[in-house]
Structure 1
Amino acid sequence: MSATTPSDLDRTLLPQVTAAVQAAGVTLRERYTEYARGADLDAITEEIHANDEAVLDVLREPLLAARPGSRWTEDELAGGALPAGEWWVVDPAEGNINHVHGMQEWAVTATLVSDNRPVLTVVHLPLTGETYTAVAGRGALLDGAPLHVSAKTDLGAALTGTGQARPGEDERTFRRIGDSVTAMLINGLVVRVSVPATLQLIHVAAGRTDAFWQFSDVRSGLVAGALLVAEAGGTVTDTRGEPWTPASSDFLAAAPGIHAAATEVLAPIV
């Protein structure tokens, strides 16, 4: 595939991806109810899979057609580096567990990852109609209006967040989450612990919150938010301050003014 510029992605691909993600959002919204669906784990899992399949039926073909030669990652909970080339990293129901429990924090996301670098993303919230977009080198937008991260410089005044990436994490990961929440409660102002990651990261990109971290490499929950935060002026690394890639074992996105302080809090938690 020939190389493309940010302007090519912005002008030609972004409108197509936005239309596809918004159409998929209609499907997910039609499946939504304000009451919980599923009274046991098997029933909940069945509802989650049904949501995924319904939305992917709408989303997969338009995205692959919009970017000839691109490939598709099938497992939305997978992590680690991708093979070279262009890949669609999609979460058909980001926050699926919220959707099936009648809560409102869920979205449809699609991100084009080129040689392990997110270069274009669309995050659509069907209940509010909000659409967050970013193209590498072109900024981050909410319904066409520029996004900017927080200007805070004091971690003691910061609203931060974290959460688990997938059910059934190992005990060490759960203990790291707990230890990190305690440490950030001591050093910050307020910590929000919730899922999904992308919905916390759009708040960082919009300057509503100041940092988000996660002890995870799950690509589908991080690549969209990583690009949005970076393009909104934020700093995206691992929890030790090293450059983040999909191969990184953990993740931190923060306003530049508090990033160093956040790494000082999180780096010792192993």
Structure 2
Amino acid sequence: MSTSQTGSTDSTGGSGRGEGAGPAAEDAELLEIALEAARRAGALLRDGRPADLGVAATKTSPIDVVTEMDIAAEKLITSYIGRLRPDDGFLGEEGASSEGTSGVRWVIDPLDGTVNYLYGLPSWAVSIAAERDGVTVAGVVEAPMRGETYQAVLGGGAFVNGRPAHCRPAPDFSHALVATGFGYLAERRAAQAEVVRVVLPKVRDIRRAGSAAIDLADIGCGRLDAYYERGLNPWDLAAGALFAREAGVLTGGRPGQPASGELVVAAPPGLFEPLQELLDGLGAWHD
């Protein structure tokens, strides 16, 4: 079976939390918990950011302040979820890690787009996904400065601020608006620049927003045609990729492989395949 997935995939695996509750009922509960946790963390980050952060007018460096906010947001999320579901596991960017015993694990990026946050750019988000037995079943991307919440449950469609979201139909390759991102290491950035050098003349244009979660959400909302990146972590893409798939997008890595740190490709059917083939041939999956 292909590792690329669409929003039509049915929810499978796991058992409900309460007598008589099935996976679908639990998925809805997980989504509600993720929505509230993301809302609280987003408000903390939005309201707690010093207005002068980008110009280093604090006693500590701006990066220290961002790190403190990042850690505080993750602690808020894990504490809130842990009170409601003490048997669940966690995987978070800022170090939250526990196996749990329920079969459910929360994959958390408390602040996706930290450089944007540092500079006062609006494209940053809180990303929270719930996995059951390794399958992402619920996801939320909260973008406070956009005033938008992207949410999805496996098999239940994608929604932005409560409205159904759908990706664009695949355009001709030459008309595709493609987003990407770059790593922090100089050697990786140099390799990624070579890939962009070849891709750019073949498509409409390239966008670089600085938040993988928002890029994936934007594909699902029809604001981008495609997205690819090397070097993502599970917390960068778990919630956004579910949202995109539920909006009709295909996601994957190299041909026949799932999206991973090696390579993430996301696009609607008809554009996904040629983009994936091009990126694989260019070696976008290695430095």
Bigger Cα Rg: 2
Kindly report which structure 2 residues correspond to 1:214-225, keeping only aligned pairs within 5 A, or say none: 214-225=229-240
Contact 1:9 / 1:120 at 8 angstroms: preserved in 2? no
- Please name the residue that 1:242 is paired with: 256
> Helix, strand or coil: the match of 1:61?
helix
Segment of structure 1 superposing worse, 89-98 or 229-238: 89-98
Structure 2 distance, partners of 1:103, 1:27, is: 17
Structure 1 distance, partners of 2:126, 2:139, is: 11
Shift of 1:164: 2.1
- Please name the residue that 1:264 is paired with: 277
Alignment equivalent of 1:3, drawn from 5, 8, 15: 15
Shift of 1:2: 5.5
| TM-score normalised over the length of structure 2 | 0.82
Segment of structure 1 superposing worse, 85-94 or 102-111: 85-94
Shift of 1:76: 4.6
Kindly report which structure 2 residues correspond to 1:43-54, keeping only aligned pairs within 5 A, or say none: 43-54=61-72
Kindly report which structure 2 residues correspond to 1:115-134, keeping only aligned pairs within 5 A, or say none: 115-134=133-152
- Please name the residue that 1:19 is paired with: 36
Structure 2 distance, partners of 1:104, 1:203, is: 14
Alignment equivalent of 1:206, drawn from 215, 221, 243: 221
Which stretches in structure 2 are left out of the alignment for 5+ residues? Answer: 1-12, 17-21
1:106-149 residue CA offsets vs partner (Å, 9 max, x unmatched): 11111112333221111111123211101111111101111111
Change in Cα spacing, 1:119 to 1:10, as seen in structure 2 (3 Å) is closer
The count of aligned residue pairs is 261
Change in Cα spacing, 1:245 to 1:201, as seen in structure 2 (3 Å) is closer
Structure 1 distance, partners of 2:164, 2:116, is: 28
Q: Does 1:164 align with 2:178?
A: no
Change in Cα spacing, 1:251 to 1:83, as seen in structure 2 (3 Å) is farther
AA aligned opposite 2:205: V
Alignment equivalent of 2:191, drawn from 176, 180, 184: 176
Q: Does 1:106 align with 2:124?
A: yes
Contact 1:37 / 1:102 at 8 angstroms: preserved in 2? no
> Helix, strand or coil: the match of 1:182?
helix
> Helix, strand or coil: the match of 1:202?
helix
Structure 2 distance, partners of 1:11, 1:83, is: 20
1:81-125 residue CA offsets vs partner (Å, 9 max, x unmatched): x99943211111111221121111111111112333221111111
AA aligned opposite 2:281: P
| TM-score normalised over the length of structure 1 | 0.87
AA aligned opposite 1:3: S
Change in Cα spacing, 1:237 to 1:74, as seen in structure 2 (3 Å) is closer
1:209-245 residue CA offsets vs partner (Å, 9 max, x unmatched): 011111114111111111111111110010x332315
Structure 2 distance, partners of 1:115, 1:106, is: 29
> Helix, strand or coil: the match of 2:197?
helix
Contact 2:91 / 2:235 at 8 angstroms: preserved in 1? no
CA-atom RMSD in angstroms: 2.6
> Helix, strand or coil: the match of 1:105?
coil
Structure 2 distance, partners of 1:111, 1:38, is: 33
- Please name the residue that 2:46 is paired with: 29
> Helix, strand or coil: the match of 2:169?
coil
Structure 2 distance, partners of 1:93, 1:236, is: 22
Change in Cα spacing, 1:170 to 1:63, as seen in structure 2 (3 Å) is farther
Contact 2:226 / 2:266 at 8 angstroms: preserved in 1? yes
**Identity score, percent:** 28
> Helix, strand or coil: the match of 1:88?
strand
1:137-168 residue CA offsets vs partner (Å, 9 max, x unmatched): 11111011111111023111110011125x3x
AA aligned opposite 1:24: A
AA aligned opposite 1:143: N
> Helix, strand or coil: the match of 2:140?
strand
Contact 1:6 / 1:136 at 8 angstroms: preserved in 2? no
Shift of 1:37: 4.5
